[in-house]
Homo-oligomer: A and B are copies of this chain.
């Protein structure tokens, strides 16, 4: 069985419904999940886009919010359009890159997405991330310190380069071996592929 790498970015809208279910879905399927945080900004820049496609194409952007509301409702998720989009994702990404497989990594990922897309909290502010860690009964100071080392910063840059090298052009992307599955809409197919049932 092949592990499923879940490539995600905290500012990414459709990563929210996918991130909220990927850990349970992989566990139910007996598939190993690997969290792979990266930054969309450099990936979009490498593709010639100065910002999110949803801002470059406002018609598509307006549709996306409408669609997000439907998708989250269908998945039983609270959704509130963030008052700022895209939100800064750097600190949260560095927390994950410095702690990619802790027992609490999945819970932190979900808490951060919930903060951004259900609670309209500013996940770009260190105080918000500290509060989210506290809500998970974790001590924020050492975790945030580890996230701000030059090693963590370099690792996030390198992993974002890895995303580009793998052909990742958007988030979320599930990689099963060398095969990409882009979007919340392909998560189930990716899990089936990782199980070897496709």
Contacts and interface: CB of A to CB of B under 8 A. Distances in A.
A21 interface: no
Contacts of A182: 63, 67
Given A47-B57, A57-B47, A63 B167 contact: yes
A86 interface: no
Contacts of A170: 60
A182 B67 CA distance: 9
Contact of A169 (B63, B167, B185): B63
Given A74-B189, A185-B185, A47 B59 contact: yes
A167 B62 contact: yes
A100 interface: no
Interface in A48-67: 48, 57, 59-60, 62-63, 66-67
Contacts of A186: 67
Contacts of A57: 47-48, 169
A90 to B, nearest CB: 24
Interface string A74-110: 1000000000000000000000000000000000000
A83 to B, nearest CB: 23
Interface in A115-155: none
A47 B180 CA distance: 28
A81 B130 CA distance: 50
Nearest to A64: B182
A183 to B, nearest CB: 8
13 contacts: A47-B60, A48-B57, A57-B169, A59-B169, A60-B170, A62-B167, A63-B167, A63-B182, A66-B179, A66-B180, A67-B182, A70-B189, A74-B189
